[in-house]
Amino acid sequence: MSGTTASPFPPASWRGIDDVVIVGGGLAGLFCALKLSPRPVTVVTGAPIGEGASSAWAQGGIAAAIGPGDTTQAHLADTIAAGDGLVDVKVAEAMVAEADQRIHDLLGYGVPFDRDLEGALKLSREAAHSERRIVRVGGDMAGSAIMAALVAAVRKTPSIRILEGFVAEQLRCDGRYVTGIVVRDLRGGLSARMLLTTRAVVLAAGGVGSLYEVTTNPSEARGEGLAMAARAGALIADAEFVQFHPTAVDAGLDPAPLATEALRGEGAIVVDKAGKRFLLDLHPDGELAPRDIVARGVHEARNCGRGAFLDCTKAVGADFPQKFPTVHAGCMTAGIDPARQPIPIAPAAHYHMGGIHVDGAGRSSLDGLWACGEVAATGAHGANRLASNSLLEAIVFAARIADDIQGLLPNHKVVAWSGEAVDEAPADADGQSAIMTRLRQTMSRHVGVIRDADGLCEALRIFADLEAQARHPQLNNAVIAARMIAAAALARRESRGGHQRSDFPKTDPAQAQRSFMTLADCSPMAAEAAQSAAMPHAPAA
């Protein structure tokens, strides 16, 4: 490896690496690290903790059935209804039942959830929830407030060692056992690769939104965690189910600022450029219909030139800066005053229901590998996530993983780091950003809100080309994640939840099962589809 002797890696303070390595400094990773304390753990994260994470951008809050009259059964019923036939009921039941405890954990870490005059937690309502059950902070600042409290708690927990500026690239395995992880030190342009030998790896590396051209996610959300697990042979579940948020602000910014669902909860309406409300034609709940239905309505209105706008002028009006400061700032940056004018909106890739298949303890199909947060597929969301259930899922499963690891490996050991070159893996950046641009365009065009076999085969053909050109391991991981999403979307010949096929527009009861795929299953199928797309007049698969 070039430059290792001159590099300050590993830092002089390192004597070894803890036997639990958590990849990701978002809510799932940090909550897991705190729950494992006082056991020493190492958190590896590309961006500084709290940055480069969707968690810090969450606007709505966390769903928890803690209000008067609300029940976990009602929360479960709403979760199942949104999930469109694919929710794993046992998993979802456990998740909603643990919400109360986990919210109290967050309060213990200092999260300043909004309270009413009597000191009770204030609850708001979001689309497809039958009750007011979202705990929030400062209107739309839940994510940044939760992460600020957790980052402060982590920084003062001596058992947590944080490696910021280190990007995980590859799992190391011995048969079915994950034995370590290869990370790249990106600080100061060093680009040195190191092997961290561990007994447990927790992947909490977030979602896939940034594989799309229009997304609400930070650029770090490129499916690298999913791809690393897939390359090591782990089972990937439900990869085809990507949720598109219907109301991203359409002002040409990347990522696109989000106009939170809570605005529609407050009465904001979706209109076309003639000022006509159109969502009631699609669903009796109109603006509060499930996300996939609203996203499709907005997508179609834009596609046929009618345009789509979120009109908050009456429902929120002059209170906008106080009630929704984050959205207000995002709109003003884009030159839109949301108190006075309708906000132009577009659907944007927002959340991945699919990911690394895990069981109720967060264990993947590989020994020594756990996953939590958006990178994992627990089955709690089915084909479509209910708003504000993802932060909940992240903390519930992070806590479960901490318990599981503590039970399986009660004694902490310092394992090893290796300062030796692990292999020659060039981090050649030349021409690589053009590959990422092509990948993102392809995902939005062919693997987006509405899909069909021809487009998916074409996407797989393009990804095969891009894979051959990608020389950077991170980029390779991004292409593999994209390929798995497209292949799973091609395999599901129906429309359900976040997955809509114009060539199979109906939901097929015979396909009401979750999907499971390894990279080994995906590769021949992707190659065949790519080949059929390359042939003139390829028949639809």
Catalytic residues: 291
Q: Closer CB to ligand FAD, residue 165 or residue 342?
A: 165
Residue whose CB is less far from ligand FAD, 60 or 455: 60
Residue 274's Cβ-count burial label (10 Å; 0-12, 13-18, 19+) is exposed
20 and 159 in contact (C-beta within 8 Å)? no
Using rule CB under 6 A, residue 171 touches ligand FAD:
no
Query: With respect to ligand FAD, which residue has the nearer C-beta, 146 or 490?
Result: 146
Give residues 375-434 in contact with ligand FAD (rule: CB under 6 A).
375, 388-391, 394
| Min CB(351)–ligand FAD separation in Å | 5
CB of 207 to ligand FAD, least distance (A): 6
Number of shown-chain residues binding ligand FAD (CB under 6 A): 45
CA distance 392 to 398: 10
Q: Are 31 and 41 in contact (CB under 8 A)?
A: no
Contact with ligand FAD (CB under 6 A): which of 10, 60, 265, 368? 60
Handedness of CA 425, 355, 462, 304 (dihedral sign): negative
Reading across the β-sheet that carries 200-203, which strands appear in turn? 160-164, 41-45, 20-23, 200-203, 369-371
Instruction: Report how far apart the first and last C-alpha atoms of the chain are (Å, whole number).
Output: 44
- How far, rounded to the nearest angstrom, does the alpha carbon of residue 221 sit from its chain's CA centroid? 7
- Binds ligand FAD (CB under 6 A): choice among 29, 233, 286, 473: 29
Among 19, 34, 41, 57, binds ligand FAD (CB under 6 A): 57
Please tell me the number of Cα atoms within 13 Å of 211 on its side-chain side: 34
Minimum distance, C-beta of residue 333 to ligand FAD, in the bound complex (Å): 14
Can you tell me which of 47, 86, 235, 279 binds ligand FAD, judged by CB under 6 A? 47
Site for ligand FAD in 481-540 (CB under 6 A): none
Using the rule CB under 6 A, which residue among 224, 272, 287, 452 binds ligand FAD? 224
Query: Whose Cβ is closer to ligand FAD: residue 206's or residue 455's?
Result: 206
Q: Which stretch binds ligand FAD (CB under 6 A): 49-57, 85-93, 108-116, 431-439?
A: 49-57
Instruction: Calculate Rg over the CA atoms of the chain.
Output: 22
Residue 46: CB minimum distance to ligand FAD, A: 4
Q: Write the DSSP string, 501-525.
A: BSSS-S--GGG-S--EE-HHHHHHH
Nearest distance from C-beta of residue 461 to ligand FAD, angstroms: 26
Q: Does 19 bind ligand FAD (CB under 6 A)?
A: no
Residues 248-277 that bind ligand FAD (CB under 6 A): 258
Residues 139-168 that bind ligand FAD (CB under 6 A): 142-143, 167-168
Q: Tell me whether the omega of the peptide bond preceding residue 257 falls within 30 degrees of 0, making it cis.
A: no
Smallest distance from ligand FAD to CB 541, Å: 31
Give CA 522 to chain center in angstroms. Answer: 21
CB of 361 to ligand FAD, least distance (A): 17
Structure tokens belonging to residue 255: 């990522």
Q: Does the protein bind ligand FAD through residue 55 (CB under 6 A)?
A: yes
Q: Which two tokens stand for residue 448?
A: 């987006």
User: Whose Cβ is closer to ligand FAD: residue 53's or residue 331's?
Assistant: 53
For ligand FAD, the binding residues in 358-377 under the rule CB under 6 A are 373-375
Rounded to a whole number, what is the largest CA-CA distance in the chain? Answer: 69
Nearer to ligand FAD, 1 or 182 (CB): 182
User: Is residue 294 within the footprint of ligand FAD (CB under 6 A)?
Assistant: no
Q: For residue 25, state whether it binds ligand FAD (rule: CB under 6 A).
A: yes
Is residue 23 within the footprint of ligand FAD (CB under 6 A)? yes
331 contact partners, CB below 8 Å, separation of at least 6: 249, 251, 257, 259, 337, 338, 343
Q: How many other C-beta atoms are found inside a 10 Å radius of the C-beta of residue 494?
A: 16
DSSP label at 275? Answer: S
* 64 near ligand FAD, judged by CB under 6 A: no
User: What single-letter amino acid sits at 371?
Assistant: A
Q: How far is the CB of 224 from ligand FAD (least distance, A)?
A: 4
Give the single-character DSSP code of 338: T
The residue (of 192 and 490) whose beta carbon lies closer to ligand FAD is: 192
Cα(376)–Cα(249) distance, rounded to whole angstroms?
28
Q: How far apart are CA 67 and CA 127, in angstroms?
A: 17
- Is 451 in contact with 492 (CB distance < 8 Å)? no
Residue of 10, 26, 286, 382 that binds ligand FAD (CB under 6 A): 26
Q: Name the H helices within 109-221.
A: 142-155
Q: In angstroms, what is the minimal distance from the CB of 81 to ligand FAD?
A: 17
Q: CB burial class (10 A; 0-12, 13-18, 19+) of residue 260?
A: buried
**Residues 277/270, Cβ–Cβ less than 8 Å:** yes
Please report whether residue 124 would count as binding ligand FAD according to CB under 6 A. no
3-state secondary structure of 352: strand
Select from 6-14, 42-50, 186-194, 479-487 the region that touches ligand FAD (CB under 6 A).
Answer: 42-50
Question: CB of residue 173 vs ligand FAD: minimum separation in angstroms?
Answer: 17
Out of 17, 22, 54, 346, name the contact with ligand FAD by CB under 6 A: 54
Site string for ligand FAD, 183-222 (x = CB under 6 A): ---------------------xxxx--------xx--xx-
Q: How many residues does the chain have?
A: 541
> Is residue 53 a contact point for ligand FAD (CB under 6 A)?
yes
Measured distance CA(37)–CA(158) in Å, rounded: 9
- Stretch of 40-48, 93-101, 236-244, 530-538 lying at the interface with ligand FAD (CB under 6 A): 40-48
Q: What is the spatial order of strands in the sheet that 192-197 belongs to?
A: 166-174, 177-185, 192-197, 416-418
Binding site for ligand FAD (CB under 6 A): 23-29, 44-47, 52-55, 57-62, 142-143, 167-168, 204-207, 216-217, 220-221, 224-225, 258, 351, 373-375, 388-391, 394
